[in-house]
Chain A
Amino acid sequence: MPISRRRLIAAAPLAAGLAVAPSVVRAQAPGRVVIIGGGFGGASAARFARDRFPHLDVTLIEQSRSFTTCPYGNLVLAGRRDIGSITFGYERLAARGVRLVHQRAVAIDPQRKQVRLADGVDVPYDRLVVSPGIDLRWGAIEGYDEAASARMPHCWVPGLQPVTALAEQLRAMPQGGTFVMAIPDNPFRCPPGPYERISMVAEYLKRHNPRAKIIALDAKNGFSKQPLFQDAWAELYPGMIEWRGASNDGRVIAVNPATMECVTEFGDRVKGDVVNVIPPQMAARIARDAGLAAQSGWCPIKPATFESAQVPDIWVLGDASIAAPMPKSGFAANTQAKHAIACIAASLAGQAPPPAVYFNTCYSHVGEDYGISIVGVYRGGTQLTEVEGSGGISPRNSALEGERRAEHRRLEALYADGWYDAITGEMFG
């Protein structure tokens, strides 16, 4: 039962008055662009499509009426933010002429080019953008299923479990207790995220529970911005944080929620008063069911466009895609989204896609007035590559003179706040 053309038009855009004149108009052929998922990829795609290509008909399918960001969730743990300040509604996107459908997308039919909604309605598309985020691999760590996550929260998918679940446990932790975190191998959502979380938990504990310890059990031997995080931990939280990599038996293979224990590869049992398990992940189910994912559970894309490498006329953005060396980050999804929309407009008009340049900056808060970052500029051709000589992490302490060091860290913490307001303002403002 396809939605009629008339209904689409009736529901459509306040377009004209709100559209910003594009500086380079490449493509003007109309088309129905349907977007699944209202996170960093999907919401950015919807906004950019309305701003730059107002002739496109844009539908955003998102089950939820609000979106809580993963970024800045760790600041809720530190007690610096409340969850309301990182939660946004879709009203402004609707006012910009995006047709919002607050339903679950249950299936994609690439042959008939339509998306099936939970209520049985089919939404037809000319080009489809799939930006559904991740699913957790329940059972990949033995004993870690949805029931176990109530006692040992992941708080890695805000729609499944908001970060407040972990914040409550942290605040109830006994004095001198142990906070244990299990961290997965690559690839996973937000590579610096676990380490920013460790930092923000440490900031909270330093103030409220200074004898407490943090034990991080990692399935890897190295991590994003590692020297910067470890310098900062030694400086700000001396003696509080123990990080164990894979070669130091850090890989957690099983958990026992009854005893609050993590079991490592070589049989060590690590008990916590609070246990935060970040399990292995994969592309969300709608993408896997539609045949967009490879054996790995993630979705291969054409690096020049972000169109699926497996199914025509479908673009896959954000954490669900295989975009290495780009990280699975919100900013990465945001720039992928803009490029994908430009490619979609070009393809509808029978034109060649624009040159592919992608971008990412991830800021992390590690303490008060202490921020660090990683930057990447990427190009997509037959492969996705990082531009040589560009990007990288903030300078280490040893490379910054005394006063300049504090100023650098302070500015990056401030700029992180600027980034957060700018990107969420673009998506939801």
Chain B
Amino acid sequence: MRSCTIAMVLLLAGSPAIAETADGALLAGACQGCHGVSGEGGHGIPSIRQMHDRQQFVALMRAFRANERPNTVMGRISRGYTDAEIAALAAHFAKPQ
């Protein structure tokens, strides 16, 4: 079940080969600077700590990227990351599966 879900995320994210080298815990530093070390949020910054499943997390980031969701900074941020990196971030912050 778990490997099936990961495979789905990777499929969604595009490039499994790169996903293996994307280090979610390291990439997460960009998120933690505002969302907090464990993604807990605060001062109106939403929690991203296990708030979504991985597919939802990826879909949310894609919506920010495409400017399909109102935002202040997330559009500008999300466009800096590859699909594989977003998948790695999803694995880091989303609900355990």
Contacts and interface: CB of A to CB of B under 8 A. Distances in A.
B45 A418 contact: yes
Contact of A426 (B21, B23, B32, B81): B32
Interface string A162-175: 00000000000000
Contacts of B27: 357
A373 B73 contact: yes
Contacts of B76: 375, 390-392
Contact of B23 (A24, A48, A375): A24
B21 A354 contact: yes
A338 B31 CA distance: 13
A419 B34 CA distance: 4
Interface in A378-401: 387, 389-392, 394
Contacts of A392: 76
Interface string A35-51: 00000000000001000
Residue from B35, B77, B78, B85 having most chain A Cβ neighbours under 10 A: B77
B24 A422 contact: no
A19 interface: no
A422 B42 contact: yes
A411 B72 contact: yes
Contacts of A354: 21, 23, 26
Nearest to A375: B76
Contacts of B23: 24, 26, 342, 354-355
Contacts of B1: none
A426 B37 contact: yes
Contacts of A331: 33
Given A361-B73, A391-B76, A414 B26 contact: no
A321 interface: no
Residue from B29, B36, B78, B79 having most chain A Cβ neighbours under 10 A: B29
Nearest to A26: B23
B27 to A, nearest CB: 6
Nearest to A330: B33
Contacts of B85: 357
A408 B25 CA distance: 30
Interface in B33-50: 33-37, 41-45
A48 B45 CA distance: 22
A190 to B, nearest CB: 16
Contact of B44 (A24, A334, A418): A418
Contact of A422 (B26, B35, B72): B35
A23 B77 contact: no
Contacts of B80: 359, 375-377, 387, 390-391
B63 to A, nearest CB: 16
Nearest to A419: B34
B72 A415 contact: yes
Contact of A361 (B24, B43, B77): B77
Contact of B77 (A24, A48, A390, A425): A390
B73 A375 contact: yes
B60 interface: no
B48 to A, nearest CB: 12
B86 to A, nearest CB: 12
Interface string B4-29: 00000000000000000111111101
A338 B45 CA distance: 22
Interface string A358-380: 01010000000000010111000
B33 A23 contact: no
A132 B34 CA distance: 24
Given A331-B33, A339-B26, A423-B33, A418 B72 contact: no
A423 B42 CA distance: 12
Contacts of B54: none
Contacts of A357: 26-27, 30, 81, 85
A62 interface: no
Contacts of B24: 23-24
A203 B32 CA distance: 30
A390 B91 contact: no
Interface string B51-88: 00000000000000000000011001111110001000
Given A23-B92, A342-B23, A355-B22, A334 B29 contact: yes
A391 B41 CA distance: 21
16 contacts: A48-B29, A339-B26, A357-B30, A359-B33, A359-B80, A377-B80, A411-B72, A414-B43, A414-B44, A414-B45, A415-B34, A415-B45, A418-B42, A423-B34, A426-B33, A426-B36
Given A373-B72, A390-B81, 6 more contacts: A23-B24, A24-B23, A338-B26, A339-B26, A339-B29, A376-B80
Q: Nearest 4 CB-CB pairs, A to B?
A: A377-B80, A418-B43, A390-B80, A359-B30
